[in-house]
Structure 1
Amino acid sequence: MEPFVQGEETHMLLLPQWMKQYKQLTAGFTTRKGGVSKAPFHSFNIGLHVQDEPDDVLANRKKLAESVGMSFEAWTSGEQIHGNQIAIVTSKERGRGRASMQDAIIGVDGLVTNEKDVLLTSFYADCVPLYFWDAEHHVIGLAHAGWKGTVTAIAREMIEVMSQHYGTKPEQLQCAIGPSIGACCYEVNHVVIDRVVGLWEELELPEVILESVFLNKREGKAHINLKEINRQIMIKAGILPSHIEISERCTGCQHDLFYSHRMENGKTGRMASWIGIRKG
């Protein structure tokens, strides 16, 4: 069953199973619909770095915050450099990156917090959004996993940070892998293939599963399944397979609903993943 479900009277996709467990939790993923941006960013572009009109982007961001019941002042973003570094967000970092790229938390692709009234956000146009929820300690996290973040195991880094700083037990952690480009639309060259093979060797993952993440492998090229690679990293880090939800939605196939950097030749907007705990 698809875990990301369109909300009532909105184009946004929600994680309702998580939100039912804890009423103050909000988590989901935006689509390209329902905002004010003009072509080629029409209409709900959340990215400030794609040459869209800044006022339109901020209007879209404010609409998202309002829609999920949080203030725009709570909106917090990282720089996103396709790495694997994680930032712990406290009240001091709350609100960074909400109105400008220059103010974002530098050098990170992952954010984690146990504070209420902090809205963690990150941005996508094919890369893989990863969500983390520790219900016992009320800790939330987001990670942006492009192919570089994936092969440097940002999912494992997030789990380790949550464990070290908050006492999160991997077997109790719930994870979700959001809409992103699927193997059907994502062909890569030998550089990426070699890095995936290297990751498999480093983590000592099952060889039979490695074959399943490559499709149509030929002459130094292959289609790869980034979602499944991230799932295997999570399992190796101690997450129970039954605690990992995976979206079947492909941003490449559904670029009427999603922005796709690959399918739109780089000239497009960005969706947002978000997770936050509202004040009681």
Structure 2
Amino acid sequence: MAYFLKHIKENIWHGKFSIFPEDIAVHAISTRLGGVSRAPYDSLDLALHVGDEAGDVCENRRIFAASLGLDAAHIVTPNQVHGDVVARVTEKDAGRGATDYDDCIQETDALITDTPNLPLMLCFADCTPIVFLDPEHRAAGIAHGGWKGTVASIAEKTLRCMGEAFGTQPKDVLVGIGPAIGPCCYEVGAEVAEKFRAAFPYADECLLKEQDGHIHLNLWEANRQQMLRAGVPEENIEVAGECTCCRHKWYYSYRADGGKTGRIAAMIALKPEA
């Protein structure tokens, strides 16, 4: 099992989790390649809130959604605020935030659904995409795991909400932890480290490491541990292990790009039952 990049066409790439069955859902993590945005957002910027031209972003969304066989006009996306709110979305939410940022699902950092052909999309530039698929109940979700959301257990709360809404069981769910800033590059201050120690008793064992006199945080492992401790089998969790800061020529990185940059996206849409 491995996360991999698949070239589709015209420099459009899909980051894929091999454990996700393609007959249940279509999914991908975008790269920064293959779009129409100009520097410093070059080129497949998928975010409407970072200062890029709205028309270029909408065209990028059309390009990327079409590469997955989806209609960008139906995208549902939230206004992400580094919180722990999870929203269930249905057919009536189709298109919310697709072309108008003010129409996003407000102040929400995870979306879940069991509605087919409804593309869920969240945006990232160093924070951790966490993608969920429940093949048993045909349900899906995406969570935004920056350090604040991770401390607030956004991944575990998303899984719990899927259980309450759809009957999802941790033993059945598949989880993909996408490209994000890695422990190689993610230096944090003492205040952030203390919040992780308070939230996760095992933080010093596997989440926080001293490196060159500084503390480095492993967001990938923090979210993986959340899922393991929530009951998701180890073999059901796939970690991309791609550092967006190290590989910022492929992915947008807030740190590597000096704070003014675009956003990649995680997207998933359930397929109708045959």
Normalised by the size of structure 2, how large is the TM-score? Answer: 0.95
* Matching of residue 240 in structure 1 with residue 233 in structure 2: yes
Kindly indicate whether the alpha-carbon contact (under 8 Å) linking 1:175 and 1:243 is maintained by their aligned counterparts in 2.
yes
Q: How many angstroms apart in 2 are the aligned matches of 1:18 and 1:138?
A: 15
Kindly indicate whether the alpha-carbon contact (under 8 Å) linking 1:31 and 1:257 is maintained by their aligned counterparts in 2.
yes
From 211, 216, 235, give the equivalent of 2:210: 216
Q: Deviations over 1:66-114 (max 9, x none)?
A: 1101112220101100001100001111211111111000111000000
The code of the aligned residue for 1:23 comes to D
Q: How many angstroms apart in 1 are the aligned matches of 2:148 and 2:163?
A: 23
Partner SS, residue 170 of structure 1 = coil
Corresponding residue number in structure 2 for 1:225:
218
Partner SS, residue 45 of structure 1 = coil
Q: How many angstroms apart in 2 are the aligned matches of 1:212 and 1:234?
A: 14
What is the correspondence of 1:136-175 to structure 2 with a 5 Å cutoff?
136-175=136-175
Displacement, 1:11? 3.1
Unpaired runs of at least 5, structure 1: 202-206
Comparing 210-219 with 142-151, greater Cα deviation is found at: 210-219
Q: Deviations over 1:129-178 (max 9, x none)?
A: 00100000000000011100000000110111011111111111110100
Corresponding residue number in structure 1 for 2:179:
179
The alpha-carbon distance between structure 1 residues 72 and 11, as it changes in their structure 2 partners (threshold 3 A), is closer
Corresponding residue number in structure 2 for 1:44:
44
What is the RMSD computed on CA atoms of the aligned residues? 1.6
Q: How many angstroms apart in 2 are the aligned matches of 1:241 and 1:16?
A: 14
Partner SS, residue 171 of structure 2 = helix
Percentage of identical aligned residues = 37
Displacement, 1:13? 2.4
How many residue pairs get aligned? The number is: 272
Q: Deviations over 1:191-230 (max 9, x none)?
A: 11011001114xxxxx3x63222122687x4111000000
Q: Deviations over 1:18-48 (max 9, x none)?
A: 45x2425111111111000001111100111
The code of the aligned residue for 2:15 comes to L
Kindly indicate whether the alpha-carbon contact (under 8 Å) linking 1:69 and 1:278 is maintained by their aligned counterparts in 2.
no
Kindly indicate whether the alpha-carbon contact (under 8 Å) linking 1:18 and 1:25 is maintained by their aligned counterparts in 2.
no
Partner SS, residue 77 of structure 1 = coil
Q: How many angstroms apart in 2 are the aligned matches of 1:22 and 1:45?
A: 25
Q: How many angstroms apart in 1 are the aligned matches of 2:179 and 2:253?
A: 11
Comparing 24-33 with 238-247, greater Cα deviation is found at: 24-33
Displacement, 1:120? 0.2
* Matching of residue 7 in structure 1 with residue 44 in structure 2: no
Q: How many angstroms apart in 2 are the aligned matches of 1:62 and 1:24?
A: 22
Corresponding residue number in structure 1 for 2:34:
34
Q: Counting helix residues as a fraction of each chain, which structure ranks higher? A: 1
The code of the aligned residue for 1:40 comes to P
Partner SS, residue 4 of structure 1 = strand
Normalised by the size of structure 1, how large is the TM-score? Answer: 0.93
Corresponding residue number in structure 2 for 1:277:
270
Partner SS, residue 12 of structure 2 = coil
Q: Deviations over 1:47-68 (max 9, x none)?
A: 1111111100000001111110
Kindly indicate whether the alpha-carbon contact (under 8 Å) linking 1:213 and 1:229 is maintained by their aligned counterparts in 2.
yes
Q: How many angstroms apart in 1 are the aligned matches of 2:159 and 2:62?
A: 30
Corresponding residue number in structure 1 for 2:196:
196
Q: How many angstroms apart in 2 are the aligned matches of 1:171 and 1:277?
A: 20
Corresponding residue number in structure 2 for 1:56:
56
* Matching of residue 263 in structure 1 with residue 264 in structure 2: no
